[in-house]
Chain A
Amino acid sequence: MDYETTPEGALVRRAQSGDESAFREIVERYQSKVFSIIHGIVRQRNDVEDIAQQVFAKVYFSIRNFDFRSSLITWIYKITVNECFDYLRKKKVRKLVYESDMSEDEVRRVENSEPLPDRGTRADTTLARRDYIVKLLDRVSDEEKNLLMLKEVEGYSVEELAGMLRMNENTIKVKLFRARQKLVKASQRLDKAPAR
């Protein structure tokens, strides 16, 4: 069945023609999913809504360019992941504090640079690990990043990805494999580079 002729395809068509109620329906349908993706990547509760607003504003301004080659959620997912990585690049991951993991008192202590005996070290390690992964993912193309995230973070199978992205299963496998190889090379380069 052609995606364009599905009920969701019709909803997108209405949004593309400027129907505000259709856009509202899209926001309400996918807001929880977008919040979940953003929180998984940035882990900053306070910034999740701000990034989500930015994502849906981008969806609004570029929905006319949506060409039905993938499903709407795949397209929104791509926009969301790009927004999250832009956010992380701007904020520098190592400076992030996991407020969700800490009590308000701990957050205040971190902000005041006071040492945190156990949880502080754990948070530092987690931040360093996430910072490292962001650096690795910066070395692959947007398409590869999107594919890797859909596969490894969202847990879609190769068959599902092939259906969602309208590609052959072997093409998906090859693309995923090349993307992973790039990550390995980036990781080797980062490990050799002196720590900054």
Chain B
Amino acid sequence: MHDIVAEQFDDHRNGRASQALYEHLAVCPDCVAELAELEQVTNALHEFRPDTDSIPAPSLGFYNRVACRIREDEQSQSWSFFSPGIAFFRRVAFASLLLLAGLGSYLVTRKAAEPEADAVSIMAQHDVLQSHPESSDRDNLLFALANYRE
């Protein structure tokens, strides 16, 4: 759309647009089409114009009902401090899930980092000879006695 239409759209609606706008529209079918679309959506908004004949008047005591509503809202706001509502519980559940996921991934990575325990290494850890040097000496002594020859 050409600038002249954008600049003078409201003036056109008020019947105050310049002759230059209409001279431009006479030679620019694109702007004519776009102007029509703009007018269409703008006119559609007139649907919300109040119908002055059927507007309900505020009934007596309207202010008192507003004041009552304000008091109720204030009370519900003060009670909401003690009842956190569904959003709070949703956040707690989400935080718990995150914590569980974090803990789970920690345990898995920790286990993977540990060396694999095979049977030999386990036996090596429980080598009787290494863990009890005194018994080793005793065995050596018995071995020497058994093989003793005069």
- Which chain A residues have a beta carbon within 8 Å of chain B's beta carbons? 24, 27-28, 31-32, 35-37, 39-41, 45, 48-49, 52-54, 56-57, 60-61, 100, 129-130, 132-133, 136-137, 148-149, 152-153, 155, 157-158, 173-174, 176-177, 180-181, 183-184, 187
Known: A32-B58, A177-B6. A153 touches B70 (CB 8 A): no
Known: A28-B63, A158-B10, A177-B9. A35 touches B56 (CB 8 A): yes
A152 in contact with B42 (CB, 8 Å): yes
**Interface residue B79 (Cβ < 8 Å from any Cβ of A):** no
The dominant DSSP class at the B interface is helix
- Which chain B residues have a beta carbon within 8 Å of chain A's beta carbons? 6-7, 9-10, 14, 34, 37-38, 40-42, 44-52, 54-59, 62-63, 65-66, 69-70, 73
Instruction: Please indicate the chain A residues that have their CB under 8 angstroms from the CB of B41 in the complex.
Output: 136, 180, 183-184, 187
B73 in contact with A35 (CB, 8 Å): no
Instruction: Please indicate the chain A residues that have their CB under 8 angstroms from the CB of B37 in the complex.
Output: 184, 187
Known: A48-B56, A60-B70, A181-B38. A40 touches B48 (CB 8 A): yes
Instruction: Please indicate the chain B residues that have their CB under 8 angstroms from the CB of A184 in the complex.
Output: 34, 37-38, 41
Instruction: Please indicate the chain A residues that have their CB under 8 angstroms from the CB of B57 in the complex.
Output: 32, 35
Q: How far is the CB of A54 from chain B (nearest CB, A)?
A: 7
Instruction: Please indicate the chain A residues that have their CB under 8 angstroms from the CB of B46 in the complex.
Output: 152-153
- Of the candidates B44, B58, B73, the one whose C-beta lies within 8 Å of that of A61 is B73
A153 in contact with B49 (CB, 8 Å): yes
Instruction: Please indicate the chain B residues that have their CB under 8 angstroms from the CB of A155 in the complex.
Output: 49
Pairs A–B under 8 Å by Cβ, sample size 29: A28-B63, A31-B62, A35-B55, A35-B57, A39-B55, A40-B49, A40-B51, A40-B55, A45-B56, A49-B56, A49-B59, A53-B62, A53-B66, A57-B69, A57-B73, A61-B70, A61-B73, A100-B54, A129-B47, A133-B45, A136-B41, A153-B46, A153-B50, A157-B14, A158-B10, A173-B9, A173-B10, A176-B10, A183-B41
Cα–Cα distance between A79 and B93 once the two chains are bound (Å): 35
Q: Which of A28, A57, A60, A132 has the most CB of B within 10 A?
A: A57
Residue of B nearest to A176 (CB): B10
Cα–Cα distance between A132 and B59 once the two chains are bound (Å): 32
- Of the candidates A45, A152, A173, the one whose C-beta lies within 8 Å of that of B45 is A152
Cα–Cα distance between A61 and B69 once the two chains are bound (Å): 11
Instruction: Give the top 9 A-B pairs by smallest Cβ distance, nearest first.
Output: A40-B50, A152-B45, A183-B41, A31-B58, A56-B66, A36-B50, A153-B48, A184-B37, A39-B55
Instruction: Please indicate the chain A residues that have their CB under 8 angstroms from the CB of B58 in the complex.
Output: 31-32, 35, 49, 52
Instruction: Please indicate the chain A residues that have their CB under 8 angstroms from the CB of B38 in the complex.
Output: 180-181, 184
Residue of B nearest to A44 (CB): B56
Instruction: Please indicate the chain A residues that have their CB under 8 angstroms from the CB of B50 in the complex.
Output: 36-37, 39-40, 153
